Amino acid sequence: MTNNNTTSSEISSSPNTPYIEFNHLWKEYGDQVVLEQINKQVKVGEFVTIVGASGCGKTTFLNMLLGTNSPTRGSILLEQTPLADEPNASRGIVFQRYSVFPHLTVLQNVMLAKELEQSPVLARLFGKAKRQALDEAKEMIDAVGLAHAADKYPHELSGGMQQRLALAQSLIKRPQILLLDEPFGALDPGIRADMHQLVTKLCAQHKLTVFMITHDIKEAFTLGTRLWVFDKLRHDTQAPGAYGAQITYDLNIDRNRASAEQLAEHEAILADTSIASAG
């Protein structure tokens, strides 16, 4: 990688103060409790991978971080101020699908953030400003390895290439937080490994704080610096909705050790939860 100078400078907090805080976070739909008692702190640059059984509130949790869903009780603080309750430029997102715009080419998709930023009415750039945006977009496309496909439309790209594009598109905006909702769930194993390398590299480079949902426990160990397991601690068979999921395990992952080794170490814990089968 050549452009190490592109690391984000907006992050003001020092590495040891909590960057994002979840205080008594609670989410209910009617009398159905989805999440309860989430109390966590996350520091700048942490890569949090989230695993858990289907329907245990992982996506709800991510949506609350994104701002499309608001907590019933409790709060999410970003540098001591409550998180905006609608999606904005501070948090980038890559979904499993539909993250890129089908009517724009790769280059246009990546350039879009620049156009939105600099041209509030037309959302289009001309002349010098356009050339600058184009250059920056090309650099970003290069970084994710899509230079050869810059003028293609998303439907002409493979699934892996589309996710690379979605990443480039988000990262050009220089978000402080990156949210990944099973971004590699639909990809082949080989392509997935490539994507893991790319994501690890880019996240370190941009000093991103990342939250990633995954179904693949190995992936969670490979990518994360921290692993959260979402699970229900209490069950009421008479009223399945009475208790919500909590973060039952919060593991620190050492990136310098092989993920398989650490996975084996925690096997006992993980087997205990319902995600073992999903992984």
Contact set with other proteins (CB under 8 A):
66, 68, 86-89, 91-93, 95, 97-103, 112-113, 115-117, 120-123, 153, 155-156, 166, 169-170, 173, 175
Q: What is the full DSSP assignment across 58-106?
A: HHHHHHHHHTSS--SEEEEEETTEEPPSS--TTEEEE-SS--S-TTS-H
Least distance (Å) between residue 67 CB and other proteins: 8
By beta-carbon proximity to other proteins, the closer residue of 121 and 268 is 121
Q: Which is nearer to other proteins, 33 or 94 (CB)?
A: 94
Min dist. Cβ of residue 243 to other proteins (A): 29
Nearest CB to other proteins, comparing residues 160 and 175: 175
Q: What is the CA radius of gyration of the chain?
A: 19
Q: Smallest distance, Å, CB 229 to other proteins?
A: 26
Q: Residue 162 and residue 67: Cα distance in Å, rounded? A: 24
Whose Cβ is closer to other proteins: residue 103's or residue 234's?
A: 103
CA distance 205 to 192: 20
CB 241 to other proteins: min, Å: 25
Helical (H) or strand (E) element with 210: strand 209-213
Q: 39 or 70: whose CB is closer to other proteins?
A: 70
Q: How far is the CB of 212 from other proteins (least distance, A)?
A: 15
Quick one: which of 42, 70, 33, 75 has its CA closest to 245? Answer: 33
Q: How far is CA 180 from CA 28, 88, 97, 120, 165, in A?
A: 23, 15, 11, 27, 14
